[in-house]
Structure 1
Amino acid sequence: MDAIILENIRIYTNHGCLTEESKIGSNYRVDLKVEADLSTSAESDQLEDTVDYVHLNAIIKQEMAIRSKLLEHVGKRILDRIFNELDMVNFAEVKVCKLNPPIGGDVEGVTILMTKHR
């Protein structure tokens, strides 16, 4: 199966369980991989024959802008939108990483990884 991968989408938003996180916000990184048959678009060179990565990026930005306590909740929303809006996608994997999380230690990031199949 062919894939389209969006890497290192950087977003500043306010997810988290702590009140401070909702007010201050923090930096996040999102990576997305979707699998679809890209053979038609490889031949036709037409946008309507592929999964538009601009559309994928818009879904990520819109869902990341909606506050959630848990990264898992955001990840599920991203996956659900992809499968509701893009019929060509057969599989998707999303990673949502909170950079420098407030967990009382020197941790670069905490990441959730979620997948969904059609």
Structure 2
Amino acid sequence: MYYSYSPYPYDDNTVNAFLERSETGKDLTLGLFRNDKMIAYFFLWYYTDPVPLLGIGILDEYQGKGFGKKLIQFLIDAARRSSRDGIDLTMLPDNHRAYALYESLGFRHYAGCE
């Protein structure tokens, strides 16, 4: 598998749009809840394609607590179980914290993807 992040906003409109996309059956969109409040969403767009697109959104107060790593690992495992060829993502070039996270999970930077 190969893996290649721009942050997604966390607001009601964005979350609702992702959930609507998921209802088509082409995407895998999930939410993480704490005390009946959604604190994060994560997805694989084009889940039925050979290489879906990964994205996550986490409320600011829950960032840096390990949720991102667990959510991404969950999606990697789901893609493997579904025999996907890899997972793609985009990220801002100066987001060093995200880059380190993705690299620790097996994602690799490919030249020309910027």
What TM-score results when the alignment is normalised by the length of structure 2? 0.33
Q: Determine which structure has more spread, i.e. the larger CA radius of gyration.
A: 1
What TM-score results when the alignment is normalised by the length of structure 1? 0.32
Name the structure where strand makes up a greater proportion of residues. 1
RCO (CA 8 Å, sep 6+): is it higher in 1 or 2? 2
